[in-house]
Chain A
Amino acid sequence: MVSYGLFTSRKERNRQRYRSDKFYRGTFTVILMVIVAQAFLAAAASALLTAEKRIDPETRTLELRLTRLESEEEQYGALLRKLKTVASLKPLIENRIPATKLVSNIEEAFLANEQVGLVELKLSNHFDLNDPNSKDDFTILITGAIKATSLIPTVILTDFTKTLGEKLPQAANVEISRNAVVQGADAFAPFEVRIHYTGP
């Protein structure tokens, strides 16, 4: 056998050597991967640019809309704040027991106890108009008199306060602040009942 590559030029032999050289093939693979990666990068960048160009008008429209909404929000801010307050007060208003109702309950208690007479009724409410979380805080001071009969006025007053407790809402606190005691030859024994009721 003759030698491989007989009479071939050095260039041709180099060509063959380079073809099978692992280092050159490896270098080529690396270069090819870099080129492919660059191509992918370029493709991705161009795709992003295209998408950006397409989205750009939509973005501008949305930005304009956002600005308009912000100005509208600013314009209706006061109203919104009021609406929020009203919304927070809504359950208070819906569940509120008005003073007239309490007075009506007290009237019913008087009607149920004929021996007991009303002299004066003082009603005060410590409701804070500036506090959205404020509740009705009624204090009712009843000044009355019990006609001296065969029955003991204290018993009559106890019955009366029991009736009040039944007629008034459960949260109402009824207490006798001045017991009905007959003073000398007076025909009526004066008394005072204090009712305290805090709204739900």
Chain B
Amino acid sequence: MLQFLSSYPWRYYLKTFLGKGRSARGVLLVKEDKVSMLSGVGGKLVFSSGLKELKGAPSLANSSKARPGTDFRKKALVDRSVGHSFEWIFVVDTPEVQIHQVDSLRYGGTGELTARRVMELVPSILKADLANWELVNSKLQPIEQDTTPVSILLGLPQSVVKELEGWSRQFQSIVSGILPLVLVLLDQSISLSPTGFHVVLTTNHTVIALTQEGEIRLITRVDPIKRLGVAQIDAIIGSFGDTFPEMAHHPARFISSDFSSAELANEAKDFSIPIVSTSHLEFLDLEEIIQGCGVAPIEAFALYRALCLVPLNPYQ
């Protein structure tokens, strides 16, 4: 009853008493050191970066209040129609994001994914009850929609979810989804190379995956490249190639929101297999759609990808 009362959207009903109005969506990349945004302004998608320093910006921990008059509202949200009809998609990069490959046969039914169930699936997980868990299939779709042999278990700290939802609630907005950055970049990489190896590099993670015709066959998460080193990544890819020898000749696609394509090529120059550095030149068509993407093109395109990844609100 208390939960119902606390969730009762009386303010929303008051504001939409004479009609629901048009809903709008926006994507926010929230990292420990960076906040960027992509949303519509006057019918065009506008990308803004460097918002972390603005007072009232969202954060993964201890977001400052985005009260009216704060810099974030005045500078970042102006003309973006942020209100009760606005839907936020958060893309986050935090060290606590967890990615595990799970055998779908072990998962079995489609019951609720409780912390206990998670610990049964992956016994090595610690503090499973402090995270929110989601299971996706090898095409990154809901497992209920299509149960593929390989599925991926994703974990995100509850504190991050609570922080971002609380921040969104200040505008009476709703949250359409919270996506780990590695997931978005991996999806983007797969869209460019449906078959082959993928190395996704973010500030906090390195995700290595092997895909075949858009479906993930193998996936693992390791430490960031700075800590891990290129040689370790090369070794993991080698082991993936051993498991799927028929795939070993495919190049490895590198994608990163932190490194430029030149930096990536330089980092992976000693790789044992050919590599492809994802460049913004591969998204020339998007440059016409997204205004201001030149500052951080891969980041902007990743946010656009996130916007496409989350379906429209089924409740409206």
Contacts and interface: CB of A to CB of B under 8 A. Distances in A.
Interface string A28-51: 110010000000000000000000
Given A14-B3, A14-B7, A15-B7, A5 B176 contact: yes
B153 to A, nearest CB: 12
B316 A20 contact: yes
B266 interface: no
B177 A2 contact: yes
A32 B175 CA distance: 27
Contacts of B313: 4, 16
A59 B144 CA distance: 79
Interface residues of B, number: 41
B70 to A, nearest CB: 23
B9 A15 contact: yes
A8 interface: yes
Contacts, number: 96
Interface in A1-31: 1-9, 11-12, 14-20, 24-25, 28-29
Interface stretch (B31-39, B135-143, B230-238, B275-283): B135-143
B162 A28 contact: no
Contacts of B161: 7-9
A2 B142 contact: yes
Interface residue tally on A, bucketed by range:
20 to 34
B311 interface: yes
Interface in B258-316: 308-316
Interface string B236-249: 00000000000000
A6 B315 contact: no
A134 to B, nearest CB: 82
B179 A18 contact: no
Contacts of A14: 3-4, 7
Contacts of B218: none
A2 B315 contact: no
Contacts of A3: 134, 136, 141-142, 144-145, 177, 311
Interface stretch (B10-18, B120-128, B219-227): B10-18
Nearest to B187: A2
Contacts of B311: 1-4
A9 B165 contact: yes
B310 A6 contact: yes
Nearest to B157: A7
B9 A9 contact: no
B165 A8 contact: yes
A11 B14 CA distance: 20
A46 to B, nearest CB: 24
Given A2-B179, A2-B309, A19-B9, A7 B174 contact: no
A12 B132 contact: no
A14 B140 CA distance: 24
Interface string B18-58: 00000000000000000000000000000000000000000
A11 B316 contact: no
Contacts of A32: 13-14, 17
Contact of B8 (A2, A6, A12, A24): A24
Given A2-B136, A2-B310, A12-B174, A19 B179 contact: no
Contacts of B145: 3
Given A12-B174, A19-B9, A19-B315, 15 more contacts: A1-B141, A1-B308, A1-B309, A1-B311, A2-B140, A2-B141, A2-B310, A3-B144, A8-B175, A9-B162, A11-B165, A16-B174, A16-B315, A18-B8, A32-B13
State the 3 A-B residue pairs at the shortest beta-carbon distance, nearest first: A7-B178, A3-B142, A20-B315
23 contacts: A1-B308, A2-B136, A2-B140, A2-B142, A2-B183, A3-B136, A3-B141, A3-B144, A3-B311, A4-B313, A5-B177, A6-B178, A6-B179, A6-B310, A7-B154, A7-B177, A7-B178, A8-B178, A9-B161, A11-B6, A12-B165, A16-B313, A32-B14
Interface of A: 1-9, 11-12, 14-20, 24-25, 28-29, 32
